[in-house]
Amino acid sequence: MQHIDQTFETGAATHVGRVRNRNEDSYLVHPKAGIWAVADGMGGHLDGDVASHTVIAALESIEPPVSAAELLADCQERVADANTRLLDLGRESDGIIGATLAMLLAYDGHYACVWAGDSRVYMVRADGITQLSRDHTEVQDMVASGVISTEQAKSWPGSNVMTRAIGVYDEPELE
């Protein structure tokens, strides 16, 4: 975790967007436990709203930690539990029920950004906005390895194919 000396302000809102009829986003603002999280149901798959709610519900029950390491471990455990639940639901429905996740964890002046998928973490300060996370998508991997350019990535077919998400793989891989 990185050390921070300043306090920060948070807010949360979600919107259905321009493509879907129902909102597949869920969020958690849980400052007593040091957790701020956004889960976004994976478009084009089954029950994205169920997926995002499942992930956030798993994180909601986390109690205030006694250390930064405990906070991270509790989050990883709850995400693993949500992953198992979503895999089971997907098997019952014969499909994928998955969500992306982006979290800010804070404890005693330290913070960590943890994510899986293409939900992003940004830092906003007076001098600008900085993206802290990197998308877990096939197209981002291609950009990172120099196969395609950032400009090509904007219109690349299958640019939304995830390489990490919750509810998709047997073991959730958080960065």
The answer on pLDDT for 14 being more than 80 is no
* Three-state DSSP state, 88: helix
Instruction: Report pLDDT digits (tens) over 147-162.
Output: 999 999 988 987 778 8
* DSSP calls for 106-149: EETTEEEEEEESS---EEEETTEEEE-S---BHHHHHHHTTSS-
Residue range 20-75, pLDDT digits in tens: 667 788 999 999 999 999 999 886 666 888 999 999 999 999 999 999 999 999 99
- 3-state secondary structure (DSSP) of residue 25: strand
Cβ contacts of 103 within 8 Å, gap of 6 or more? 35, 36, 37, 38, 59, 75, 113, 114, 115, 121
pLDDT higher than threshold 70 for residue 8: no
Over the stretch 88-123, which tens digit does the pLDDT of each residue have?
999 998 889 999 999 999 999 889 999 999 988 988
CA distances from 30 to 10, 36, 104 (A): 11, 6, 10
